[in-house]
Structure 1
Amino acid sequence: MVNKDRLRAYILTTMGYVLGIALLANSALVIYLYYLQRMSDEDRNRAEIAERYIQTLRTNAVYADFIAREAMIFNDDRTINRYEETVGDVSKAFDSLTYNLRKYGFNETLLGRLEISVSDALKNHRQFLDSFLYPDSAAARPSLATFTSAFDAVQRDFSLIEAYINQIKSDKSGSGWLWLAVLLQLVLLLCVPVAFGLPRSVLRLRRRLVNLNRAIDESNRKYVFDSLEEVNLEDEEAVRTRLLNNLRQAATFIQEVARKNYDVRWEGMNDTNRDVNRDNIAGELIQMRELMKKVKEEDDIRMWMTEGLSKFGAIIQKNQHDMQSLGDAFLSSVVKYLDAKIGGLFIIEEEEEEPYLELKACYAYERKKFITQKVGIGQGLVGQTFLERQTVHLREVPAGYATISSTLGEADPRSLVLVPLIANDKIEGILELASLNDFKPHHIEFLEKVGESLAASLISVRSSERMRILLQNAQQQAEEVRAQEEEMRQNMEELEATQEQMHRQVNELNQLRHELEVEKYLFSALMNNIPEAIYFKDRDSRFIRVSKHLATHFGKEPEDLLGKSDFDFQDEVHAREALEDEQQIMRTRLPKVDFVEREILKDGSEFYVSTTKMPLVDAHGEVVGTFGISRDVTTLKRAEMELREMQEKSRARISELEARLAEAERKLAEAKGN
């Protein structure tokens, strides 16, 4: 019994010691666990704070990069102001991040790398911003490749810091959980309160992570793109990937638009979420794409209209002298230019009592049609359009309206437009076109503009034709009046001739006769007394007047030479040369002045004369013959020939004497040698 009591006491004592030791161990473990828990909470809080600063800086950096690309495209004050504010936010967020990370003893190597990459990015942004704020400065604007390189460096350093933070969180939280598991194995009683405290810590951490992910996802939806699809906010990787994908898609979208690819689509954008994304980046980019696409379409239309107006202006200018050629050329060109199938040009005719519209030109299915058609004012669509003076556009052509069909089996036109040709508030006709395709508003505007030019040209052509007809009539009437006036003048001269008029006419006639006799006397005195040979010839080189000296040279009287040529007095060779010279002078109108020629008469006598020949021009400037003057230089020519002959003989004599002198010198030399 005693032994049992001792054993029980020993067991209780042992159990007491064990309990005391357990209590002491439990107390020590609780204190140690509390210390570890506190340190773990502080590390996690610091890591979470660092993550928030990094996320804020990363979001601002991404947004600054996007706004820079947007400023590069739009270059407006609103975008530049947003860009300046964003660059300031990035600088402030970066200063806060570096201050807190150094405060908590963060890895200095990673922090230094981040400082370098962010400083380079900020430098590029400030240099890019200055190029907009101070456009006159010499600073160069960074290229898109420079921005992309700096942005990738910042993103890489962010990823390294985030990996380092995750490692800290993992190491601290894993150690706490390990000691908690050992404590649970040693003392279950002490693990109960810890078990109640640990889930609350995990739940609090998870709640903070969810709130951060919710803020990132809401910013992504609000500022970038909202697909209306839900994401698991507890999955940090999914939230981050969604944001980065949207930003990459924005950058790709901008690049495609910059390459003028206006058909690029934003993946995920549909009619369901289009209104939700109207004011965020995706919506703004789509609106920008549509605006640039619209601007390009308007530029294409403007260029199309400018080229068309220039082309048809040239056609009108080229054919403005004939109404039929103008209508045919204009209509065939406008049908081809607008890809229409049928075209008709109706011109107003007002010559008759009842004005009507006449089909002046018709072009259908790439061929000119020879159709005669007259339309009364107010009849049918053409006549009604003429009355209303307004363009008519029908998107459905009435059945049977197009009476011209295609021989190739093409479909009938489905769209019709009738344009009044108005210039200076006067309508000149109707231009009618039918097409398989609908006429666009700029087509109709173009037709109205070229129609106005055509109407002005039709007015000019019509006026020219009327003036031509009036001129012909006036000329005919003037001829008739002149004939009547001539007849009346003759009658009046016969009826009203008086003695005074006859006396005056006789005096005038006598005066003219006297002047003519004086001129004739002077000319005859010149021709009979001048010691030179002067002649006048007609176009056949026959004499029509000669001086007495020339007639004496041929042994004839001046009257004997009239109507004759050089062939009658000289040998045929000289006569042929003289004829050719005179014909050339008449053709070229170039005289031959003071040249010496040889003449051989038919009796064999030879003469040399210095001759000047010139074209004979009448009062109308027409060449009617030639005239010339010759001077006998036979004595001078023969003296010149004798002198040349004497010079030749002298040169021969000198040559002979030089030969003899050389022979004598040779013989003298031989004699001396002997």
Structure 2
Amino acid sequence: MFTIIKSNQLKRLYSASEQLTVAQSQISNALRFIKAIQEGNLTLAYPGLKDDKTDFPQQADSLACSLMQMREQMKAIALQENQRKWASEGLAYFTDILRDQQNNASLYDILLASLVKYIGANQGSLFVVDIEQNRPAQFLRQVACYAYDRKKYTEQTIQIGEGLVGQCYLEAESIHLTDIPANYISITSGLGDANPRSLVLIPFKLNEQVLAIVELASFNLFYSYQIEFIEKLGESIASSISSNRVHQQTQQLLLQSQQQTEELKAQQEELKQNLEELAASQEEVRRREIESQNLLLAFQTVTNTFASIEFDMQGNILEANENFLLAMGYRSEEIRGKHHRIFVDPLYAQSADYIQFWQNLQNGNVFMGQVVRYSKDQQSIWMQVSYAPVKDRDGKYTKVIKLANDITRQKELEIFSQQQVEELRAQEEELRQNMEELVSTQEEIERQSKQLHALSAAVNSTLATIEFDRNGYVISANDNFLHLMGYTLSQIQGKHHRILVNPDYRQTKEYTQFWEELRQGVAQVGEVERITYAGECMLLNASYTPVFDLENTVVRIIKFAQKVTAFSSQS
């Protein structure tokens, strides 16, 4: 039996067969393409389709176009993930350098060389802001210069506002140039000199104060994620620079103390020649010994305290924290709206220096140094201060933030020590005539030497710190904190803050509110009870400070703490 097929039916059958073959081919191509993507191959071209994402909508195979668009999205996601991983590994890498090389004289060279290599730049320079005591910043000093895997031995100072580096300091914002001015900088290789293709200058800031500026040049363009990485790294480097300055100041104090000790020992050898003259001066030496002991006992209770106050640009008080109010003896309502001059000597308040002081702040200059201020009862207080003008989003200076530490006791000790030295020098001729007094004097000098060494060690002490993410999980902690609480870093890293508090307190609304306010950016300061690894309850003077990102979102919490007292308790 035969079936008669008409020609038009036959044509339709052939057409259907061809369409089926094309569909099978497309499915086969799609399966191979999907399998390649599953195996991580994001560069494979789709058979018969141009690898041009701008032409996808015009190409016939919609399934292939969809798969290609999916591949492009996966490539973009993979690129973003690689950038985040690169930045995270870089921060960890440089954190290790800052920790391991903190006291290395070549720290700046090591940091710059590592940064140039990690970013893939061709050369770079690091400038540190030179700040003299009681004076605003005067210039930026080049502390490291690196190019083509070699340290360059150059010295350079740049005035504030001079060139791109000086302007970067004034604006406190990053500068990225792809159109480099002629003769601004050149990169030398075996083939000759050439201008770089991209130049970036990034300020390293701590508490909105610029402490250093890095300048990097490259034949390749700098990407935004690289610049953001350097800006975030700059916070850690600026903190390290600030710590180095404190360390250097402490070393200078220690050196001065050692030099004075050596001078006193030289005098001892001379005074030992005639011990008969010591009897007449024994009573005076005993009196001085008691005074020195009492003064040193008073200084044993000194701890680092943080006080802050805010002013408008005319010097009128906006607000102050409890530490400042306690230090100055005021209540908040007594000083709000008053002028800064209520804290200074009346004669100084009318002087040209005081007027110039506020004009410098209004011009955006930071002031750091040691100053005398007067409390409500007109008691003079020595303070280590930092006045920092703050800009709003429009770049206009709107207020001045002052951070202060009460160093009155330290200054009194310095003055007392200087007076002691001067008195000893004045009595030198008299003591030579009566050498019998030297035995007791020798003992007194040895006591004073030990006391000065003890004082230097106290000045060199540092705070215990621990860092949390915005949800309260531990990121890192320094050795002082780990030693204080009895933990190792591996025992607390990644754990929640609640392991450090009393179990009953963890369940309270107060503890929940404590972390909610931190996530909202509200700092928490005061005395708190925390539980050590051994289960003991310890009283700490603590400050929990939120850290914000560029979008003003809290990204982590830093806690500064000092032990107030400790007592045993069963947790």
Considering Cα pairs closer than 8 Å and 6+ residues apart, tell me whether 1 or 2 has the greater RCO.
Answer: 2
TM-score, with structure 1 as normaliser: 0.37
Q: Which has the larger helix fraction?
A: 1
Larger radius of gyration: 1
Q: Which has the larger strand fraction?
A: 2
TM-score, with structure 2 as normaliser: 0.44
